[in-house]
Structure 1
Amino acid sequence: MLLLVQLRWLAVIGQILTIVYVHFVLAIALPLAEMAAVLGFLVLLNIVSLLRQMRRQAISNSELFLELMLDVSALTLQLYLSGGASNPFVSLYLLQVILGAVLVDAWSAWMLVLVTSGCFLFLTFSFRALDMPQAHSGELLGLHIQGMFICYVLAATLLVFFVTRIQHNLKARDARLAELRQRSVEEDHIVRMGLLASGAAHELGTPLSTLSVILSDWQRMPQLGADPEIAGEIAEMQSQLDRCKAIVSGILISSGDARGEGTIRTTATRFLDDTVSEWRETRSPAVIDYSSLIEPDAAIISDTALKQVIFNILDNALEASPGWIGVVAGRQADTIVIAVSDAGPGFEPAMLETLGKPYRSSKGRPGGGLGLFLVVNVIRKLGGTVSAENGADGGACVTLALPLASLATGGDPGH
């Protein structure tokens, strides 16, 4: 529709220039009032089409066909008022047919062929004859050839412009479809991983409970409790076992197999503070430099998946840079931005180009590269973006940008 509107503006300008040249330069009298009324109708049609385009409403084939029929009607009226089929611009009907063949369905394009053919035949028998001045009585053939040349140049220029834009749109559409297919494959991969994780969590529940019972029995055994070293190791085992059980419970809650106390409402600052604190406690002695600059603070809904995303990024940063990790959280308009930096070797160029693709990792171990893959897809589901870059003096920085609208509803704002 937008391309059709652009071409119609060009047609209006071209008709005005032609009418002015013929009427005032060539001194060939034209019915200016009637022709101006047709031009006014085209301008009004374009304004209505632009207003509809601005509302981003879906444009159907019938609407495009109607617009093309109105263009054909306007062209027919202008030709009727200026010599009928003898007017060299009558070949502009072919341009309308070509536009129809590209823009509308096959039946609509064939209907345009029938209508324009009928209009052409009508103009051969019914038209308003031009009042040619005596000065041009011997130049009719020359004027006709000039008009044909102008019509050819105009039609060729508009066709190249239009077809080029159509090709650009088709390439953009193909690229978008390829992106959607890739995203569908990745999301299907995530679904399979989620099902596997949920099943594994169910299976791990029984052995973890068994281990917990055994450790509790050991702690009550006097011969083991008398040895401080063994008692300390048992306590550490119990602590790690509790952590495993918490991880399994988190997987089950995320997959919908379990429900805790319900939705937790919090603020962006409190959520990030608690998340970083929890990560720091379980990864000691990790050195993390954390600062939150979210002003003003915003109410959000705590999201287990988002917490796991932040954990994954922090774990990757810790693995690359055990000595230092920097986390800065801020707010830009209605977007929360979280930047995680490290002092490690940075990303390889190939990794930056394929950020978020599964099994793209420099760690060289089976299954590596799933962390960032999950991070990118979870953030994308929340309507946000993930970017990564290497620092000028070494290290790397991964930045999350999350719209507050999705965090306030706990889901994708587009759904």
Structure 2
Amino acid sequence: MFSDLSQSPLSKNLHRLFLLRNIAIFAQCLTFTIVYWSIDIVIPWLPMIFVVVLLAVINLLTWIRLHRKWPVSHLEFFFQLLIDVLALSTLLYFSGGSTNPFISLFLLPLTIAAATLPWRYTWIMAIITIACYTLLLFVYIPLPHEHSNHLIEFALHVSGMWLAFVLSTVIIAWFVVRMSSSIRDRDRDLAKAREHALRNEQIIALGTLAAGAAHELGTPLSTMAVVTGELQQEYTHDAEFQSNIHILRDQIAHCKQTLTHLLAKAGQTRAEHGSELAVDEFLRQILDKWKLIRPAVKFTYQSTGTQPIPRIMDNQLLNQSILNLLNNAADASSECIEISSHWDNQLLHLEIIDDGKGLSAEALQRAGEAFFSSKAPGQGFGIGLFLANANIERFGGSVRLFNLESGGACTQVVLPLIGSAT
């Protein structure tokens, strides 16, 4: 009903105060009914009923106000609490003042103010409640005693004190628990925002370093290409050497092509340069490229899915992220990698299973953090999985790593799809 309340903690608190006031109005009406029909006592019914009706009207206006998108200020919330204090003081004035066992209900607005408002409002509320309590010590309409039995009167007073304590305890506990939950939700949202901001800063830093490294590596690769070409022409009669130098030249050419492609894609956005591709073709292109990068890796691939085949965003960052995950599995695997994919009209589910030793407890907890790597020194920098996580989450997907009972680790990737391919 109050969908906009999630934007403002004070709006949530005003909604809770609205609910508490409803409970208070119901309890007051119930108390009036019990006293009127079961206890022979004469009290100023008309002004007390008028106070409750006025409080109900104010709460109705509060309900209407909660449907508006106006922000709730500390001052407005303080005045809402002040209305409850004045209403309670008026009811107590007509029903025995400080001798009324419900006098302890003054603690409720004070507790709520302390839990929700800045300290200055809390101290003002404390001064007001103390002043009202003190005034009710001397100025009030006493309850009639002439026809009442002292034992009955004492029992009713004790019962009223017990009921006031129960109400205060339940309401305070409920409100404080909900407040603590709101604070924890806010802290969790702030922590997520800080984490995303830190991740964005790290990605920008890595992108800047990668662009600089790509420019710097261009000259050494060109030199290596020239030198290997001269060596290939010089030792034409050595077959084994020619085979090795051919592999080396292919790897150099692949590195140059990768750097050229990287620089060409630098600064391009997903919306400008992202095309759509059938999901089976998308995966086939990634695996074909991976076979060129890691020709020695053995793997099996199975795919299932709905027909017609849906499309997915074909983006270089997304392709590279999946390649990073495949390379991590290849580094951990000892013999063969099992790759499987399944899609429906909305999601692609990709699983990469290696037969390695599995992930350590620290790796399971910190996997995806920047510059954390479970590999031996010199074998990894800990940025592949970090960038893969960041990019896949940017495209609306998720990455999950866990160990298998049979051994090895599984990387699960979920990516959103666009629709059916034509």
The residue aligned with 1:410 is: none
- Say whether the 8 Å CA contact 1:265–1:299 is kept in structure 2: no
Counterpart among 322, 328, 350 of residue 310 in structure 1: 322
- Say whether the 8 Å CA contact 1:337–1:400 is kept in structure 2: yes
Q: TM-score, normalised by structure 1?
A: 0.77
Q: CA deviation at 1:217?
A: 5.9
Counterpart among 278, 287, 291 of residue 280 in structure 1: 291
Q: TM-score, normalised by structure 2?
A: 0.76
- Say whether the 8 Å CA contact 1:8–1:42 is kept in structure 2: no
The residue aligned with 1:411 is: none
How do 1:32-111 and structure 2 match up within 5 A? 34=50, 37-38=53-54, 40-41=56-57, 44=60, 47-48=63-64, 59-76=72-89, 78-79=91-92, 82=95, 87-111=100-124
The residue aligned with 2:167 is: 154
How do 1:222-371 and structure 2 match up within 5 A? 224=235, 229-253=240-264, 255-256=266-267, 263-267=273-277, 269=279, 270-295=281-306, 297-331=309-343, 334-366=346-378, 367-371=380-384
Partner letter of residue 212 of structure 2? G
The residue aligned with 1:212 is: 225
Q: CA distance change for structure 1 residues 77 and 209 in 2, over 3 Å: closer, same or farther?
A: farther
Q: CA deviation at 1:134?
A: 6.1
Structure 2: gaps spanning 5 or more residues: 1-12
Q: CA deviation at 1:318?
A: 1.5
In structure 2, distance between residues paired with 1:391 and 1:144: 66
- Say whether the 8 Å CA contact 1:5–1:49 is kept in structure 2: no
RMSD: 4.1
Can you list the C-alpha shifts for 1:208-239, whole angstroms capped at 9, x where unaligned? 233334555666x5x55566555544443332
Q: CA distance change for structure 1 residues 338 and 41 in 2, over 3 Å: closer, same or farther?
A: farther
Q: CA distance change for structure 1 residues 249 and 78 in 2, over 3 Å: closer, same or farther?
A: farther
- Say whether the 8 Å CA contact 2:28–2:52 is kept in structure 1: no
Structure 1: gaps spanning 5 or more residues: 408-415
The residue aligned with 2:6 is: none
In structure 1, distance between residues paired with 2:322 and 2:395: 14
Q: CA deviation at 1:123?
A: 6.4
- Say whether the 8 Å CA contact 2:300–2:336 is kept in structure 1: yes
In structure 1, distance between residues paired with 2:364 and 2:260: 33
SS at match of 1:22: helix
Q: CA distance change for structure 1 residues 239 and 173 in 2, over 3 Å: closer, same or farther?
A: same
User: Does 1:387 pair with 2:403?
Assistant: no
In structure 2, distance between residues paired with 1:264 and 1:169: 40
Counterpart among 24, 27, 35 of residue 37 in structure 2: 24
Greater shift, 229-238 or 272-281, is seen at: 229-238
- Say whether the 8 Å CA contact 1:347–1:390 is kept in structure 2: yes
SS at match of 1:356: coil
SS at match of 2:301: strand
Q: CA deviation at 1:315?
A: 0.9
In structure 2, distance between residues paired with 1:332 and 1:312: 24
* Structure with more relative contact order (C-alpha pairs < 8 Å, separation 6 or more): 2
Partner letter of residue 241 of structure 1? I
In structure 2, distance between residues paired with 1:240 and 1:110: 74
Q: CA deviation at 1:61?
A: 2.7
Can you list the C-alpha shifts for 1:127-174, whole angstroms capped at 9, x where unaligned? 7x5875864375656544543343233223433443344445445545
Q: CA distance change for structure 1 residues 66 and 305 in 2, over 3 Å: closer, same or farther?
A: farther
Q: CA deviation at 1:290?
A: 2.7
In structure 2, distance between residues paired with 1:34 and 1:67: 18
Q: CA distance change for structure 1 residues 330 and 228 in 2, over 3 Å: closer, same or farther?
A: same
SS at match of 2:259: helix
Can you list the C-alpha shifts for 1:176-201, whole angstroms capped at 9, x where unaligned? 55555555555544443333222211
